[in-house]
Structure 1
Amino acid sequence: MDSTLKLFFVLSQTLLLLSQFSKASDYNNLVYKNCSSQTLAGSNESHSKSLHSLFQELVPQSSKSKFFKATAGDDPSAAVSGFFQCRGDLSNKDCFDCVNTLPDLSNSLCNKAVAGRIQLHGCYFYYETDEFIVDDETSKHDLIHKVCGQKAKDSSFEGQRDKAFEAMESGVIDGKGFYSGDYESVHAMAQCEGDLIDCDCGECVSNAVQIAQEECVGSVSGQIYLDRCFISYSYFPHGSGPSGASGNSDNKKSSGGDSNTGKTVAIVLGGVAALALGFIFLSFLRSCGDKDSIW
């Protein structure tokens, strides 16, 4: 039976690691990129070095802070300023893991752009090249990106959603820029940029709510991203969303990539669990057979 116990321990650890991978992979999924149309002409070696130096300063900070700004670059003509922000409900480890994926994504998605924003489900990164005036007339309250989920068969849930929005609008100010909570069957979340003052944060979230009500009419889930804040909501008609399920509740039914990741990991977990039970059962039968042979 010693071998059976060892096998059970190994399989249980495997299940634990796979569940943690599922959670982390959701945080690190790309939501959108917003790269400036203004690009660097010719060689961008100095810019690349400055951006690399910026990440070297930002990434270590993500293990102890949810928001951090910095400027890097010895050459004033190639200096780069930027910041990262993690969702308020992430652990320090999840924040670090999320931010640690951003350097490669930034290089591949916004190569040579003088400014860019990479938004993942768990964190985002923004940078701009100091020498350039970025041609961006986007207001901090203008819509940058939206994701609306499938339409509900019955729009009566929107009453619950609006009540959740009301709680979120006051809660995000009380929560110093972050809110995650439930109203009946609706989970809502909001976050403002880390250095946004309370009144501006409240105004930004209120604008996002109005956009959600106009753009995601009848949708059971939605994500609204403005320049300085974002909101999300999810409706769980059968109580399938646990209270405070902020981990990934805003991702459900709003991005096919997240749904597929969850399904794949669920299949793997189910397969491993079935193999574990089968192996333990066979080992039990074998041990019983050995006892019978002794007698």
Structure 2
Amino acid sequence: MDISSSKPCCYLLSLTLLFFSCFGNNLSSTNTSKLLDFVYSHCANQYLSTDPAGSLPQILSSLFDELVEQSSQSKFYETSVGDDYIAVSGLFQCRNDLSRDQCFNCVNRLPEMSNTFCGRQVKRTTVPARIRLSGCYLHYKADGSQVSRLELQHKTCSESKAVNDGFEEVRDGAFAAVVSGVVEGNGFLDTSYESMHVIAQCQGNLEGCDCGECVTNAVQIAQDECGESISGEVYLDSCFMSYDYDGINEIPSNSNQGFGKGPAGNSSSGRGLAIVAGGAVAVFLVFFFFYMCRSSRKKSGGKFVKEKLKKYYYFLVQEIFP
């Protein structure tokens, strides 16, 4: 990039835009990558014995192709694929706040992960199976088999505990809000209640009352089994809920963990500090921009300011944002 003929203010404007662009891209890529974090996998303990033609691998391949194709158009889809001997029903669901591209990218990873975790051998393929990432999940089973929508699939509770007296009150208030909110939000809720961030979602084919019942059970499990943990996730067959507390006081699980360890093991304070620090630098650059532009008008041709800004510009481009 040739900036030798630019005016001093243009250098600093370029620096400011460069910072905002790189900082914003880093935050965006972090959020996107978290959607692909692995949560859990469930594979059947027994192999399916009702497939004399050995057609199950091909049926699953057709099922996966259809689900991935539909994920570019919808955030929930269920279907059934089969032959004269066996039929398999399957579905995928993405978090409701994902874009279509994010949903497709998430679901596109699930078939390969299913093959890796659950295996696929002729006449020896495991059914049912379930693969869950942070942003989406895949579930398939033999047609006609039943699973309770309230069956617990996976649960995590952070080792870090809250010690302030107000934690339980905030937690219970947030949990009460999430039950009513997810029904009013047509099966999805992402909100904050005082110092608690909560997310809940029901399977796309669940009616309002069934959705409320499912999330109520997930909330009860979180209360009973996570207790004073500052974060937790509960996944039932047909819904999930997660919470993350950002209160002041906690007992860390060990001295190396930062404040507010979330369910995936990331420090919420680290993310917060990064954003605060980035914001502070951005504010500094804005004020510095106006100051230097004003100073440049007072100097002959702004030559001194121009040379200084050129050095800062190349330093950022070559050393900080290569």
Q: Taking structure 2 as the reference length, what is the TM-score of the superposition?
A: 0.69
CA distance in 2, matches of 1:212, 1:232: 9
Q: Is contact 2:53-2:85 (8 Å) kept?
A: no
Counterpart pick for 1:27 among 16, 35, 38: 35
CA distance change for structure 1 residues 45 and 14 in 2, over 3 Å: closer, same or farther? farther
Letter paired with 1:165: F
Structure 1's 167 and 35: CA in aligned 2 closer, same or farther, altered over 3 A? same
1:75-154 alignment runs, 5 A limit: 75-111=83-119, 112-130=125-143, 139-149=148-158, 150-154=160-164
Counterparts of 1:71 and 1:2, CA distance in 2: 59
Relative distance call for 1:44 and 1:37 in structure 2 (3 A) is farther
Identical aligned residues as a percent:
46
Q: CA deviation at 1:153?
A: 2.7
Cα distance, 1:31 vs structure 2: 0.6
- The 1-side partners of 2:132 and 2:69 are apart by 19
Q: Does residue 197 of the first structure (1) align with residue 207 of the second (2)?
A: yes
CA deviation vs aligned residue, 1:251-288 (integer Å, no higher than 9, x gap): 962123x569x98xx7xxx9xx9xxx9xx99872499x
TM-fit CA distance, 1:19: 3.6
Instruction: Say whether the 8 Å CA contact 2:196–2:246 is kept in structure 1.
Output: yes
Using the TM superposition, give the Cα deviation of residue 14 of structure 1 relative to its aligned residue in structure 2, in angstroms. 5.9
| Structure 2: 5+ residue stretches without partners | 5-10, 120-124, 249-259, 286-305, 314-322
- 1:58 has 2:67 as partner: yes
Q: 2: CA distance between counterparts of 1:109 and 1:226?
A: 20
Q: How does 1:33-44 map to 2 (within 5 A)?
A: 33-40=41-48
CA–CA distance in 1 between the matches of 2:157 and 2:307? 46
Deviation of the 1:222 alpha carbon: 0.7
Question: Residues 286 and 93 of structure 1: is their aligned pair in 2 closer, same or farther, counting only changes over 3 Å?
Answer: closer
Indicate the SS of the match to 2:216: helix
1:206 aligns with 2:216: yes
Match of 1:226 in 2: 236
Distance 1:163 1:281 in 2: 58
Find the counterpart in structure 2 of residue 163 from structure 1: 173
Equivalent position of 1:181 in the other structure: 191
Shift of residue 71 of structure 1? 1.8
Q: How far off is 1:2 after superposition?
A: 1.8
Distance 2:20 2:69 in 1: 32
Question: Which residue identity does 2:142 align to in structure 1?
Answer: T
Aligned residue in 2 for 1:2 = 2
Offset at 1:78?
4.1
- How much does 1:121 deviate? 0.5
Count of residues in Structure 1 that have an aligned counterpart in Structure 2: 258
Partner of 1:241: none
Residue in 2 that maps onto 1:245: none
Give the Cα–Cα distance (whole angstroms) in 1 for the partners of residues 96 and 312 of structure 2: 51
Contact 1:155 1:218 in 2 (8 A): no
CA distance 1:27–1:282, shift in 2 (3 Å): farther
- Cα–Cα, structure 1 residues 206 and 286, in superposed 2: closer, same or farther, change >3 Å? closer
1:147/1:255 contact within 8 Å kept: no
Cα distance change on mapping 1:187 and 1:14 into 2, 3 Å: closer
User: C-alpha displacement at 1:97, in angstroms?
Assistant: 1.1
Q: Provide the C-alpha distance between the structure 1 equivalents of 2:62 and 2:27, rounded to a whole number of angstroms.
A: 34
After superposition, the C-alpha distances for 1:75-110 in whole angstroms (9 at most, x for unaligned) are 232432100001111111211111111111011011
CA RMSD of aligned residues (A): 3.5
Query: In 2, Cα distance between the equivalents of 1:252 and 1:151?
Result: 10
Larger radius of gyration: 2
Q: Deviations over 1:139-180 (max 9, x none)?
A: 322322101012123353121111111111111111111111
Unaligned runs of 5+ in 1: 239-250, 288-295
- Do structure 1's residue 48 and structure 2's residue 57 form an aligned pair? yes
Counterpart Cα distance in 1 of 2:264 and 2:169: 24
51-60 or 33-42, larger mean C-alpha shift: 33-42
